[in-house]
Structure 1
């Protein structure tokens, strides 16, 4: 998920009561909830899509989820000691701060870090939860990467909770209520994702397309089905169906609508062989390691572009693609 969502999760946990455990509890929770994204630093040394093969891996796995909170707790504890030595001088320790406990700083940093992979798992991008012991990707297919409704629920609750505290009232119940409401919202979206498969048969290897009025429904050979959440519309999904290099998209909503499948691209190419893929070097390697629904598309100059069916919208397609300018597209018929 985006870092605003991660930060709001940490803030809600603090407002729910955890911030009373030790001084600097809120920084431990909020920074901890974002800390696994330290792997974003790879953008400084990895070019192109090289980051796809690195991110959401080693810093999101079990060893990092213990080591990162330990480092954060040490930094916060040291910061408190430094402020205490300054006394009444500028940047000295605030008088109202609770005593700082290293044990609680570590536990709260650990809790914050644990919320990060839990939230990241919810979308179609994927996360390698067991890195470095296993590089398997895990997908929740439950929420879009940026969910404005979660922003609204959690953001309002944090604001209202802090507002009540300023008035001398308890800020716990708005935070606890928002946590329960957010969990209910996430569960409802998980149910919707799984319900998206029902009209098409959960265990079917073929998916029916819309009737054309001229005969029986045609079928799409299928090896996987992905229910991809869409922005803003919590009730909508795009059902990505098909097999390697041949994917179709079926819009799915809670409100019944005619079944309608469309090819992911109108310019499909045959899948490149190993030597052709090798011309992309580390870029191809990183892309294919990350890709869940890869396909080849013809570029304007007749060469091949590798894309992923999950990120084919105009805003994302160029950021999740690899060009193979030396490979000539062998055009496939559009079904």
Structure 2
């Protein structure tokens, strides 16, 4: 009488939702095995297989395919002798795991949270049955960056002001299922030009004018363009401060202009300021002959006429009308009225060195008075 064989069946690898790998072993209890067959839920899974010759022991492998996820299966193996009489069998129950998620996430929200000149902050949220892992971001269709999580804000930076962009996003889940792209079109803020707050002359000379400029911008000032009578003369990257126009002509009216530009290339409108350069300052007056206290001195008609002429040159330089002086000639008597005319004409120009006192008819006019007239005139700037 034959003894029953020892038969076992066991899982031999990773069980997947649609696949179970097994191994089956046979050890003879007296009879030799010529055939074997695997069963799924009592139904033969494949045909009867045969050994090349009867065996007393063997191990065979089999794969159950086309299964469903999250389902329990009865797995059986039979070994047979040459007459197809079962020598032994074994059965195990195995449950497949749930089928993996193949559905991509759904994007619920995708909109601009804030927009500036050079950046756009977008808000995104998505949902998925197995959980959203993160997002891929795109700028005008090109990959731009990524972010983990199921929602949040993401900033596109380094953009150009006043430009329309397409901002794209895809969501992906833990199984790498990726949604289709969702796009949002937005235009960055326009670049506001800088504003000039100050533009005026701080010093006006005969051949130069120094201007002061101050400006502001929503980001930063890059530099200035300067203009003379409408023509560009210079650019500078300096900040608020002074700029000097050189090589000007004396007593000439000029229009000084400035424009400001920022780092994005936006520029202000032209601010203009008109000014007239100073006249050439007359040369200082010098007596033909020195006048010294304690010594007799003469004032020639020529000297006095030159002094009167030089006074009117200074009055023109200061923007005053000419004074009328009494004409003198050689041999005339030097009168206090002649002296008084010069004192009043020079005094009207507010010289730093004060004029001498007025002298009346009969008063003595000293060398110090005459020299004081000269020094007072020469002190005018």
TM range (shorter): under 0.3
Larger Rg: 2
Q: Quick check: which one's helix share is greater?
A: 1
Higher relative contact order (CA 8 A, sep 6+): 1
TM-score by length of 1: 0.18
